[in-house]
Amino acid sequence: MTMLTILGMAIVTMVPRFIPAFIMDRLALKPWINKWLNAIPFAALGALIFPGVMSVIEEAPWVGIIGGLVAAAIALLNLNVIFSVIGAIVTVFLLTM
């Protein structure tokens, strides 16, 4: 039964991923649609970050916020994303000690 559930999950995840592969080149792209598609990564990143980041430590939303701010500060120094990830993990680890 568990494997069946996993297969079901795989199918409903896969289909929305691949449908655009078949339809996107059929859409005649007006300039505004192009702009819309170009904005999607940034809008998506925003929605993925907040308010989710506050739930890293369920009972202490500010821990996630501080971890996120540390990640942003590190990224502002033009360091690789890897350092943002490590810096944020260390921050949360220290704050929950």
Partner 1 sequence: MKEEVVMETEQSIGSAFKQGSLAGMPIFLGYMPIAIAYGVLASQSGLTIFETTMMSVLVFAGAAQFMAANMMAQGALFLQIVVATFVLNFRHFIMSMSFMNQLRHYSLPWKFGLSLGLTDETFAVSALHKKEANKENSMFFYLALILTAYFSWIAGSFAGALLGEIIPSQLSDSMGIALYAMFIGLLTPSVKKEWRIGVVAVISMLLNYIFSEYIGLETGWSIVLATVVGSLIAIPMMKEDDVQ
- Contact set for partner 1, span 2-31 (CB under 8 A): 2-10, 12-14, 16-22, 24-25, 28-29, 31
Closest CA to 66 of 48, 43, 93: 93
Q: Is residue 89 part of the contact set for partner 1 (CB under 8 A)?
A: yes
Phi-psi group of 29: left, alpha or beta (phi > 0 → left; psi -120 to 50 → alpha; rest → beta)? beta
Amino acid at residue number 28: A
- Contact set for partner 1, span 31-70 (CB under 8 A): 31-32, 34-53, 56-57, 64, 67-68, 70
With contacts defined by CB under 8 A, how many residues of the chain interact with partner 1? 73
- Contact set for partner 1, span 67-86 (CB under 8 A): 67-68, 70-72, 74-76, 78, 80-85
- CB within 8 Å of 67: residues ≥ 6 apart: 53, 56, 88, 89, 91, 92, 95
29 contacts 54 by C-beta, under 8 angstroms: no
**Shortest Cβ 61–partner 1 spacing (Å):** 12
**Shortest Cβ 74–partner 1 spacing (Å):** 7
